[in-house]
């Protein structure tokens, strides 16, 4: 999807603004939303683990840029995701994994005793819009539409010395945007946004 739906709604609220400026605000808002909520996730294709090797390159993916490592499994069993660590020289079952940027590499704290096809599974969160990717995730337009609208409006109203500048409306919409991000993060943490979540009606329903 693209910014068309938001643009149509924002244009009449921002007289004098040109589309390219509004589009930039929408795109920056989308990236801010997904950076802060980490709700745009992807399971990487399983990685083949090789004995003696503790670093594994993560190839670029079309959907966006990797932001965080969320979960990892080694040989089907969860292992700890940490922000950074020390590679052990010894051989043994890895217990921790972390991400190192430039170049993007997964590092495990010890190399396995034997090769294992698809032995390392990881889930990452993404920032969707990059120089190489301009496709907006569908969830932005369906589940988070109103939050993105609030964020983009808040950003536009905050711009200095424009005919549409409005500090009080900026504060109002940015507050709604922050609440929206907090709500999305919380719902995602509880697993209420994924299709296979187990819903349970409250006893009084």
Partner 1 sequence: MAYTIADAVTRARNLTQDKEPPYRYDDDLYVTYANDALYEVRRLRPDLFITEDGLVADITVDDLQNPFPIDLQYFVPVASYMAGAIGMEDDKYLPEGKPSRLLAVFHNALVGKL
CB 75 within 8 A of CB 66: no
CB of 175 to partner 1, least distance (A): 23
CB of 25 to partner 1, least distance (A): 10
Between 164 and 172, CB nearer to partner 1? 164
Instruction: Residue 18: name the closest of 169, 164, 182 by CA.
Output: 164
CB of 159 to partner 1, least distance (A): 7
Number of chain residues interacting with partner 1 (CB under 8 A) = 12
User: What x/- string results for residues 158 through 177 when contact with partner 1 is judged by CB under 8 A?
Assistant: -x-xxxx-------------
Phi, psi angle pair for 29, to nearest 5°: -65, -40
3-state secondary structure 113-167: CCCEEEEEEEEEEEECCCCCCCCCCHHHHHCCHHHHHHHHHHHHHHCCCCCCCCH
142 lies in the site for partner 1, by CB under 8 A? no
101 lies in the site for partner 1, by CB under 8 A? no
Which of 10-18, 65-73, 94-102, 122-130 is the region at the interface with partner 1 (rule: CB under 8 A)? 10-18
CB of 23 to partner 1, least distance (A): 9
Task: List CB contacts of 31: < 8 A, sequence separation 6 or more.
Answer: 127, 128, 129
Residues forming contacts to partner 1 in the complex (CB under 8 A) are 15-18, 20-21, 24, 159, 161-164
């Amino acid at each position: 999807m693209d910014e068309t739906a938001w643009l149509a709604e924002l244009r009449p609220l921002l007289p004098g603004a040109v589309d390219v400026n509004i589009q930039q605000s929408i795109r920056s808002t989308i990236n801010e939303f997904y950076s802060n909520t980490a709700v745009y996730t992807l399971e990487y294709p399983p990685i083949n683990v090789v004995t003696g090797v503790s670093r594994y390159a993560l190839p670029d993916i079309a959907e966006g840029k990797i932001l965080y490592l969320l979960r990892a499994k080694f040989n089907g069993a969860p292992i700890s995701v940490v922000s950074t660590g020390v590679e052990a020289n010894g051989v043994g079952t890895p217990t921790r994994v972390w991400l190192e940027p430039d170049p993007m590499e997964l590092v495990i704290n010890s190399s396995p005793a034997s090769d294992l096809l698809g032995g390392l599974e990881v889930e990452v969160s993404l920032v969707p819009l990059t120089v190489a990717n301009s496709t907006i995730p569908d969830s932005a337009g369906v589940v988070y539409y109103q939050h993105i609208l609030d964020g983009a409006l808040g950003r536009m109203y905050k711009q200095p010395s424009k005919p549409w500048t409005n500090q009080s409306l900026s504060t109002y919409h940015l507050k709604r945007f922050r609440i929206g991000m907090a709500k999305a993060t919380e719902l995602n943490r509880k697993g209420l946004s994924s299709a296979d979540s187990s819903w349970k009606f409250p006893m009084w329903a």
